[in-house]
Amino acid sequence: MFSNFESAQCTFFQYTRALRQTLGRGLEPREAPDPKTLSGICIEEKLNRRQNHFSQKVASCAGKIEPLLHLTRKMAAPTIRDLARFCGLSPSAVSAALRNKKNISAATREKVRLAAAEIGYSTDAKFSQLMVYLRSNKSSRNAPSLVLLYQTLHRDDIFVKPWLSTFVSGITSRCEQFGYSFDTMWTGAPDYSPKRINSILESRGVEGIIIFHPNDDYPGHLGINFDHFAVSAIEGDHAGREFPRVDTTSFENMRLALDRVLAMGYLRPGLVLGEWVSAANDDCWRAGYIERLWKLPASRRIPPLIIDQWQGKLPKWLERHRPDVIVCGEAHFRKDLESIGVRVPQDIALVHLNLGSDVPEWAGVDNLHSEIGSASVDMVVAQIHRGETGIPTHPKTILIRGVWRDGETCPAKNAPPGVRKTDPSEKATKEKRPRKSGRAKKVD
């Protein structure tokens, strides 16, 4: 019937669209003609004649479609070349339109999207995986680029602070696996105007942006237009929920820390945090602490001390509530305790909620910052593969649960200070010796 497979497939697409448009108009007759032009023919008879003629055309069209329908059941799914031919564009233009490239007009992108839905075209996951592999074997100078935007107090903080540098290492290693180049941009410089930032991002050919710790003022004041970039964020307070983001489970991490210290024999856990530290994780640590202590007897519930300058109130708080273990989020808290004569862990044990290389001897929760940085790259790359840009209407959040690390600041109650207790869940399971069959011999 057809000279080749492609002409058959394209003809089927054309017939399908024609039939859908025809059936969409229905079998309604046209407007009634002027009686003067009927030349003696009854209006009702002429309308019936037109309607019958129209019905015959639809039936004839459907009859031509049916063989093609049967033929294409055995055909493979339409390819990007079929979609390009159907749209009257080149395959490269269609590919760029499907990936929302800004060099393709919005009207063309919408046209390609509607045409893809009409002929049943969908992207090939295996092909996307192949493109990732091909990029990973190219030189970084030709690789697509991702940029981390951050606004710390100093330019080098994100590289030298132990609790921040692990984010960057996770991003860097993941970009290398995907074959993407990676760069950072400190937006705290006074000469960084919104116009200049957008100009830098465009000149570098940036495809994806990762925002570090968005808050009420950042990055809104930068005036960046995110419509042409894949976007994700790392942590952040309630303002960060505007973006697709990756965060730690602060609420669950607090419960994890309290469950562990209670299982180790401590009876009166307390919480000391700076106000800004608590606000940085949207008060999830405070909420997790109150929720977990609510299940304890009232006599063992200690109100948290959350204040930026706690040094003046700390001695009175300790004397009044007598905690045997304190959960905190800042490394210098140990020195504050020792400055007022409290020994760690002999008098009070300490647990850190955000372990890093600056507190290697502490017990506490490791928030796995490297994994969070890696997951932020996964989120951006997935958007690029799907051709999604801009801030979505319903952003998604990936939460990564922290893990407990034992340390000398919080030994088990039944162990001498400084002895590290091994997590029972980390012990290797020993095989049980099989029992000997038969009865044991009686010894006289």
Give me the tens of pLDDT residue by residue for the chain, a chain 444 residues long.
Answer: 444 444 444 455 555 555 555 555 544 444 444 544 444 455 556 666 766 666 666 566 655 555 555 544 445 678 888 888 888 888 888 888 887 777 788 888 888 888 888 888 877 666 665 666 665 555 544 567 899 999 888 888 889 888 889 999 999 999 998 889 999 999 887 777 778 888 888 888 899 999 998 887 788 777 888 888 999 999 887 766 789 999 999 999 999 999 999 999 999 999 999 888 888 888 999 999 999 999 999 999 999 999 877 777 899 999 999 999 999 998 889 999 999 999 999 999 999 999 988 899 999 999 999 999 999 999 999 998 888 889 999 999 999 999 999 999 999 986 544 444 444 333 433 444 444 444 444 444
Q: Are 190 and 391 in contact (CB under 8 A)?
A: no
State the Cα–Cα distance between residues 32 and 25, nearest whole angstrom: 17
Q: At what angle do helices 80-87 and 106-119 cross, to 10 degrees?
A: 120
Of 224, 223, 248, 251, residue with least CA distance to 235: 248
Residue 58 token pair:
């639809």
Which 3 state secondary structure label does DSSP give 324? coil
| Count of residues making up the chain | 444
Angle, vertex CA 1, rays to CA 10 and CA 57, nearest 5: 70
CA atoms within 13 A on the CB side of 47: 12
State the Cα–Cα distance between residues 281 and 286, nearest whole angstrom: 9
CB contact burial 100-138 (16+ within 10 A = b; e otherwise)? beeebeeeebebbeebbeebebeeeeeeeeeeeeebeee
All domains of the chain, ordered by start, with CATH? 5-119 (no CATH), 250-367+403-420 (3.40.50.2300)
Of 209, 312, 327, 311, residue with least CA distance to 257: 327
